[in-house]
């Protein structure tokens, strides 16, 4: 194995589809573009950054205001300070952020993470809002082995 081998990353988001709450006429659906980190050089101390988009689409009566929270949790463990991409027993630590400066960690609102909190007013039929999510694999993870790394996350919307 070459020590300068590049590692190919892949990121998979699983979605909680349509969510509705009793007493509300509106229903909302989250979609995402997925996120791919591309190649990662474990010998570099530089992080590998990328981004993705998620969209919240709500359908309901005209004039209805919908306030909501969008969070994310790792399937294998709760949303926390660092997430892990896996390739068998090999791991790469990464994180997801709500800002381009990568200082506000996106999660479930616990362990120092934040959620997206927003609202929209349905004008006619449906309306959508998009959000950019920023990803970073931390540099200097020298023990990474070549291969495809994956993680499964659950994105939730509550309103």
Q: Taking 70 as the threshold, does the pLDDT of residue 49 lie above it? A: yes
| pLDDT score of 67 | 93
**Exposure letters 123-148 (e unless 16+ CB within 10 A, then b):** eeeebeeebebbbbbeeebeebeeee
Sign (positive or negative) of CA dihedral 104, 111, 36, 8: positive
Which CA distances in Å does 88 have to 84, 85, 145, 147, 148?
Answer: 12, 10, 10, 10, 10
- The residues, ordered by sequence, that sit 6+ positions from 21 with a Cβ below 8 Å of its Cβ are 158, 159
Report d(CA 137, CA 48) in Å as an integer: 5
| pLDDT score of 147 | 94
Instruction: Give the residue extent of every domain in the chain.
Output: 7-158
| pLDDT score of 117 | 96
The answer to whether 147 and 8 are in contact (CB under 8 A) is: yes
| pLDDT score of 81 | 59
Query: What's the mean pLDDT in 71-80?
Result: 62
Tens digit of pLDDT for each residue in 119-152? 999 988 889 999 999 999 999 999 999 999 999 8
Tens digit of pLDDT for each residue in 98-117? 999 999 999 989 888 999 99
Q: Which CATH superfamily is domain 7-158 in?
A: Fimbrial-type adhesion domain (2.60.40.1090)
Average predicted confidence (pLDDT) for the chain: 81
| pLDDT score of 82 | 77
């Amino acid at each position: 194995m070459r020590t300068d081998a590049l590692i190919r990353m892949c990121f998979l988001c699983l979605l909680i589809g349509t969510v509705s709450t009793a007493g509300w006429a509106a229903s909302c659906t989250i979609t995402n573009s997925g996120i791919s980190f591309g190649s990662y050089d474990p010998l570099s101390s530089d992080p590998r950054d990328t981004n993705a988009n998620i969209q919240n689409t709500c359908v309901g009566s005209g004039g209805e205001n919908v306030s909501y929270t969008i969070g994310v949790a790792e399937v294998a463990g709760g949303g926390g300070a660092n997430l892990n991409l896996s390739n068998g027993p090999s791991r790469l630590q990464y994180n997801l952020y709500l800002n381009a400066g990568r200082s506000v960690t996106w999660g479930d609102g616990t362990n120092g993470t934040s959620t997206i909190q927003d609202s929209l007013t349905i004008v006619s039929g449906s309306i959508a809002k998009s959000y950019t999510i920023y990803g970073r694999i931390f540099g200097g993870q020298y023990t990474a082995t070549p291969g495809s790394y994956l993680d499964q996350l659950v994105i939730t919307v509550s309103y």
